[in-house]
Structure 1
Amino acid sequence: MSAKKSIRQIKRLGKKAKAPFPTKEAFVFLSFLIFSTLLWFLYKVSHVQELKVKVPIEYVGIPNNVELVGKLPKTLNVQFKDKGSALFTYILKQELPPFKVDLTGQFKGTGRISLPTNKYEGQIFYKLKPTATQIHIAPDSLIINYYSLYKKVVPVRFYGYIQPAQQFIITHGISVSPAFLEVYGNKQNLDTLKAIYTEPIHLKDVKDSVNSEFYLKVPRGIHLSQPRVKVHAAVEPFTEKTLEVPVTSINLPDQYLLRTFPATVKVICVVGISHFKTLTSESIQAVVNYNTLSRINAGKARIQVFSTSSDLIRYHVSPETVDFLLEIKK
């Protein structure tokens, strides 16, 4: 009789014990039941018993450029013998800790891998009690069918939003690292794939810089060289800085001289507090574009602002238009 069948027998006897008896008779019956159960238990723990357990498989070393055909076996059925005192440990666990199947270097082009399971007896024995003997593993081999995939490098895009709290600002935009990623798939899927996006990221009321890893959204039929990327956004309080900038001209024919009234304008800049001192008027240009001068609104020119500084978040200029006078050079 196996250990599992013996336990089921105890449960049936226990149910019978619940049937109504006169108090004295019930006491005598229960006493004999407990005594016989103890005798049965002592007999079982002193003899070798047979048991079957499932051992989970953990596969490692599967490259990203390989597509598996069908599902891999998740467990192995292990049958062995051990002392009865040890079997109750296995009955409570039902499954042993997983063991690793390392497939590194096994994949070559397209084909089939056959791994005899008896090569893993050592790993499985290590997870059993030292008294275990006569181990048998089923199935006798692991069969893995596969084929190789094509490779392509695509950009990684941020998807979602990072919303700073009031009086805070993102100073240099949102960046993703790495910016490009190797992906694998069949030729048809790769031809239509233009970019890989992060899972939707929605962050509100942000007061500190974001520098965290987020998972990528994996298109169907595509394998990624890595599952996550790092998203960075520098968040800090902002302030305003007013700069006096001289007005210059662009696209002006050589024979002309442009004079503006006033000769300078104020550029009110929004900048992160850490860049307040580094932002200067030398990095900003206020220009009048000769090609945009309107004949209809003669004498008025709109100011355009250009900046070479990445610290400038946004700006507005005052005044937005200036009077101008075109003179022919002498």
Structure 2
Amino acid sequence: MGKKLQITLSEDRVILMVCIGIATLFWFFVKMSQTYQTSRTVNALYTLEPDQAFLILPPAEIKAYFSGTGWDLFYSYLTNPNPVIQLDAGDYPSNMVEPTLLKAKIKKVYNDRIEILDTEPRYILLEYQKAAEKKVPVRFVGEVTFANGYNLRSPIEIEPDSVRIRGPYSLIEAINYWETAPCPALNLKTTTELECALKVPETGEIHRFPPKVKVVIPVEAFTQKTLIVPITIKNAKDSVRLSFDHVKVDFVVGMSRFKTLTRSDFEFAVDFENVETYQDNNTLPITPVRIPEGISGLNFVPKSVEFFIVQPPRDTLPASQ
């Protein structure tokens, strides 16, 4: 008796599951036969004559709003997962893809049973003009920092140092150089090579050839050096003597130039151009006249010097009382 009851309960459960499955399928078919609204992104490709370029880039993506049955929408997703339309600027003499033309273009990539309700943007402006091309220098843009005791050995090198740019005539004419995209190099201790992309144009269709450049940042260790440099006397009308005839010069220099820099590369001077022989103040500032490039942290002492007249001319001596 118990076994017969168990068999009956199992059969009832199977029948229940079959009924639920049939109801689910029926519900699914009913739902898929109903009309729905949805949106999809449509990619847009544009073509121009070879001697033309876009002054303002048209949108690369268009958001399209659709209406159709669940079956039609599902089928469109399966058969065309990445819809693309192609727009030839020559087909639009008014330089505008109007809403009706844009919707018609999108509808061609779908089946006829799907309705295109609207697009975003609703229309597309095609602004272009004659193309021009020229060669411009490249400017490196990027934060460069060095580890303690290191710095640039020589100026940063860019290879190639210039690139060709091509785009609308009015934009190309106003460009005198092209920057790299931000290309940081931090805490450097050795010479470093970077591959830096060129900056993306802010407006218009501007192509860069090549699209990337190599940036070489020469790095070396720096150390302090001290030199004793004689003071030069300029524009002295009389024989003069200085309280100091030299300055002590401290500076920081790269190791590659440490031995080659000598005191002859520097010049410090006192200038008597506007100095009266018997002025009350007999102190003059010491001025750096020639300093080699590529050094930093320059300091020298003393900063001023006293002077004394050795042999003043007789006609300038003060009258005796």
| Structure 1 residues 189 and 166, CA gap change in structure 2 (3 angstroms) | same
Candidates 290, 301, 309, aligned match of 1:318: 301
* Residue pair 1:240, 1:271 contacting (<8 A) in 2 also: yes
Q: What residue is the counterpart of 1:304 in the other structure?
A: 288
Question: Is 1:216 equivalent to 2:198 in the alignment?
Answer: yes
| Aligned residue in 1 for 2:220 | 236
Q: CA deviation at 1:267?
A: 1.1
Q: Work out the CA distance in 2 between the residues paired with 1:207 and 1:285.
A: 32
Alpha-carbon shift at residue 177 of structure 1 (Å): 3.3
Distance 1:329 1:172 in 2: 50
- The structure 1 residue matched to 2:232, chosen from 248, 252, 260, is 248
CA distance in 2, matches of 1:66, 1:246: 66
State the structure with more CA Rg: 2
TM-score of the two chains, using structure 2 as the length reference: 0.51
Classify the secondary structure of the residue corresponding to 1:190: helix
- Of 53, 77, 80, 1:67 maps to 53
Q: Give yes or no for the alignment of 1:171 onto 2:153.
A: yes
Residues 36-75 of structure 1 mapped to structure 2, 5 A cutoff:
67=53
> Which string of whole-angstrom CA distances, capped at 9 and with x for unpartnered residues, describes residues 37-62 of structure 1?
xxxxxxxxxxxxxxxxxxxxxxxxx9
| Partner residue in 2 for 1:204 | 186
The one-character-per-residue Cα deviations of 1:72-120 (angstroms, maximum 9, x if unpaired) are: xxxxxxxxxxxxxxxxxxxxxx99xxxxxxxxxxxxxxx99xxxxxxxx
- Aligned residue pairs total 213
- The within-5 A match list for 1:251-266 is 252=235, 255-257=237-239, 259-266=241-248
Separation (CA, whole Å) in 1 of partners of 2:190 and 2:243: 44
CA change 1:323–1:223 in 2 (3 A) is farther
CA displacement at 1:68 relative to structure 2? 7.1
The Cα RMSD (Å) is 4.5
Q: What pairs up with 1:67-216 in 2 under 5 angstroms? A: 67=53, 149-216=131-198
Q: Distance in 1 between matches of 2:172 and 2:275?
A: 49
Distance 1:298 1:187, change over 3 A: farther
Structure 1 residue 286: deviation in Å?
1.8
* Conserved 8 A contact 2:135-2:164: yes
Distance change in 2, residues 1:191/1:279 (3 Å): same
Aligned partners of 1:299 and 1:325 also within 8 Å:
no
Cα separation, 1, equivalents of 2:243 and 2:261:
25
Percent identity between matched residues is 28
Paired with 1:297 and 1:223, the residues of 2 have a C-alpha distance of: 67
Q: Secondary structure at the match of 1:172?
A: coil
* Aligned amino acid, residue 229 of structure 1: V
Partner of 2:264: 282
Shift of 1:257: 4.9
| In 1: Cα distance, 2:259 partner to 2:283 partner | 36
Query: 2:67 — aligned with what?
Result: none
Does the residue aligned with 2:171 lie in a helix, a strand or coil?
helix
* Residue type at the aligned position of 2:221: P
Pair 148,282 (structure 1): closer, same or farther in 2 beyond 3 Å: same
**What amino acid does structure 2 have at the position aligned with 1:67?**
A
